Amino acid sequence: MPLTLVIGFMIAIPAVSAQAPATAPATAPATQVQPPEPGKVALVGQLPAALKVKRAKTGHLLVSPKINGQAAGWFIFDTGAGMSCVDKTVAERLALPHARDASALGEGGTQQTRLLKIKSLELGPVLVEDSTVVELNLKPIALAMGEQIDGVIGYECFLPGVFEVDLTAGTITVHDHATYKLPDGHAWETLSFKGRRPRLPGKIENNEQGLFLFDLGANTSLTIYAPTVERFKLLEGRETSAAMSGGVGGIHAARKGTVGSLTLAGERIDDVPAVFAQSKQGTSGTEQEIFGSVGVGLLKRFVIVLNYRDQTVALLPRK
């Protein structure tokens, strides 16, 4: 049975400067198999613990894990990734053994790849043992970001702790579930998961409510997937300009503009910059259940508290 992994990195760049890489076939296999679970996830050492973080020009936060005890480089901290990934050059340098072939389904399409075995992945106090990572060619994404990108931190690394993320300050602090409490006056919002990726309820302007991917791997404020753009006729009468967007699987033409409002987890935000996907490839072109994704452009307004174990998130407005 073919293994299809959802790896949802998304980046938007101006149309005039975009160079789209060759894309793989757009249609994913009909059956998607859950990727293997790691043998162990845990927190070690003293908590809370601040991670070593570099803030990219695109607004992404980059972290520096160790794989099999060796420094692996700079990885995107990405809630939109269904599992962690490494660039081919990192896989070769660390001599990571092959586990099985797979297809990676991303915002731009599908990309044939493989799973690699790892003994351990350490990210500050986070320890993942006896696991697998996806091998990808991340050079096109690194070129678009203007940063060296050696990998992506995904789903399994978020399981053991509570992560407090401040995109504006460029900080990530890991807390213990047993002792962490939200500040007074704030409450948890429920996350739902599909393909190991978190989603929050919301709505665009006065349209019906749907689900939006909560994606710290997207540099946009709001990306609206092509089926939703068509369903709600969002380009009719709206001033937009040409753009390019995508990620794993390729980069494609899109439109960019503004929506009057986005209501996310009960909070209304007015005049939100938006990318309107147009390609029929990848998750942004084929996803019917999810209306779109919210990324770092919007989420930098908040201090984000992620609790994957309890499937909750809190958005604390920045002062």
Q: Where are the domains of the chain?
A: 4-17+36-161, 189-317
The one-letter amino acid code at 62 reads: L
Q: Give the three-class secondary structure for 128.
A: strand
Task: Please state which of the ranges 6-20, 119-133, 299-313 shows the lowest mean pLDDT.
Answer: 6-20
H or E segment to which residue 93 belongs = helix 88-93
Q: Please calculate the CA angle 140-248-305 and round it to the nearest 5 degrees.
A: 110
- Kindly indicate whether the domain formed by 189-317 is annotated with CATH number 2.40.70.10: yes
The pTM is what? Answer: 0.85
Q: How far apart are CA 67 and CA 132, in angstroms?
A: 11
The answer, yes or no, to whether residue 203 has pLDDT greater than 70, is: yes
The answer, yes or no, to whether residue 29 has pLDDT greater than 60, is: no
Mean pLDDT for 150-158 is 96
Q: How far apart are CA 105 and CA 283, in angstroms?
A: 7
pLDDT digits (tens, 9 = 90+) for 72-124: 999 999 998 888 999 999 999 999 999 887 766 555 456 677 899 999 999 99
The answer, yes or no, to whether residue 251 has pLDDT greater than 80, is: no
Q: How far apart are CA 108 and CA 282, in angstroms?
A: 5
CATH number (2.40.50.140, 2.40.70.10, 3.30.460.10, 3.30.390.30) of 4-17+36-161 reads 2.40.70.10
Mean pLDDT for 40-56 is 96
Mean pLDDT for 205-209 is 95
The whole-number pLDDT of residue 253 equals 80
Share of the chain above pLDDT 70, in %: 82
Judge residue 55's burial from the number of C-beta atoms within 10 Å of its C-beta, 0-12 exposed, 13-18 middle, 19 or more buried.
middle
Q: What pLDDT band is residue 36 in, cutting at 50, 70 and 90? A: confident
Among 246, 250, 209, residue whose Cα is nearest residue 226:
246
